[in-house]
A = this chain, B = another copy of it.
Amino acid sequence: MALGEFDLIAKFFKRPVRRAALGVGDDCALLNVAPGMQLAVSSDMLVEGRHFLSTVAPARLGHKALAVNLSDLAACGARPLAFTLALSLPKSDPVFLEGLASGLFALADEHGIELIGGDTTAGPLNLCITVFGEVPAGRALLRSGARAGDDVWVSHPLGGGLGDARLALEVFRGHVSLGGWEFETVRHAMEQPRPRVALGQALHGLAHSAIDLSDGLLGDLGHVLRASGVGARVDADALPRSPVLAAQPRALQLECGLSGGDDYELLFSAPPARRAAVLAAAQAVGVGVSRIGELQAEPGLRLVDGYGAPLQGDFASFDHFLSA
């Protein structure tokens, strides 16, 4: 690796600098932050076998590695500025790196952000991305801002829902069998999540709290409830589901939708008086949003079905976060 490292970085990852005062190639990147703005920072590490399969196309991996980080900025309502990439590679593989760079930069360009630095080393395949965004000082959407009485909302693709990424994983695990286009649909959801960056920014002044769905709806909602000191009632039958997931047995639908993980949608709360404004904001950015419950003063999470009856079932994530 040592001899080729600098050349490979230059070949696939060095690009003209735009916003950054200084980009890849010095000891540090230098970034200008506007007055009155706070810098929002998030790091995510992706490990082969845990966060992605060795069979994933490199371009899709590049997309996803950046997407999961942008999703954290989206959850804060921050505008993305730039990112760094640290990469551990088993071998110096130009085909892999070219694919990775193409997927990474396609998404970066979509959001107008630059790669401003990083590191490359030999080792087990591992990608660590740190993203930087800016948000008006004091106006970031936080997990801790939720209030009793708020509606609970989730975003989703127009015509789609939560849980498709988990359904794809079940196919890869051999637990579920799907036809060709159904599999491609859910595999796309798993490999090519769309970070809800525009929605996050559109929710300033509307939402009281927000988090992105990475660990599964129940687990992530648990973070919000604990950070905000409130409880929730969630209607499991109100969860948005894609036609592919909706064709599966109900227990699998709930498992995928409630504790699936890897959705990278936004879970947010807003006062009922702002329902029309939330719907208009989502429509303006081309994202679906569904109201799935309400926040309550009583601590804990109450899962009900469409008739309001307590839901029966075994949701690991739910149990864990209730007891924590």
Does A43 lie within 8 Å of B124, measured CB to CB?
no
CB-nearest residue of chain B relative to A78? Answer: B28
Residues of B within 8 Å of A87, CB to CB, are 45
CB of A130 closer than 8 Å to a CB of B: yes
Majority secondary structure, A binding face: strand
Across the interface, do A124 and B72 meet the contact criterion of CB distance under 8 Å?
no
Q: Is the CB of A42 within 8 A of B28?
A: yes
Within 8 A of B (CB), among A90-147: 116-119, 121-124, 126, 128, 130, 132-133, 135, 137-138, 140, 142-144
- Indicate whether A84 reaches chain B with its CB closer than 8 angstroms: yes
Assess the A22–B140 pair: CB atoms within 8 A. Answer: yes
* Contact (Cβ within 8 A) B121 A50: yes
CB contact under 8 A between A30 and B38, given known A45-B88, A130-B130: yes
Q: How many copies does the complex hold?
A: 2
B119–A44 touching, CB < 8 Å: yes
> A27 an interface residue at 8 Å Cβ cutoff?
yes
Chain B residue nearest in CB terms to A142: B26
A78 and B27 alpha carbons, distance in the complex (Å): 11
CB of A166, distance to nearest CB on chain B (Å): 14
Residue interface bits A146-189, CB-to-B below 8 A is 1, else 0 = 00000000000000000000000000000000000000000000
- Whether the pair B76, A119 counts as a contact (CB closer than 8 A) is no
Q: Does A247 reach chain B (CB closer than 8 Å)?
A: no
Per-residue B-contact encoding for A204-220, CB less than 8 Å = 1, 0 else: 00000011100000000
Q: Which residues of B contact A118 (CB under 8 A)?
A: 43
B123:A47 contact, CB within 8 angstroms: yes
Kindly list chain B residues whose C-beta atoms are within 8 Å of the C-beta of A22: 140, 142
Interface membership of A8, Cβ < 8 A: no
Asked whether any CB of chain B lies closer than 8 Å to the CB of A41, the reply is: yes
Q: Which residues of A contact B (CB under 8 A)?
A: 3, 6-7, 21-22, 25-33, 35, 38-45, 47-51, 71-73, 75-76, 78, 82, 84-88, 116-119, 121-124, 126, 128, 130, 132-133, 135, 137-138, 140, 142-144, 210-212, 227, 320, 324
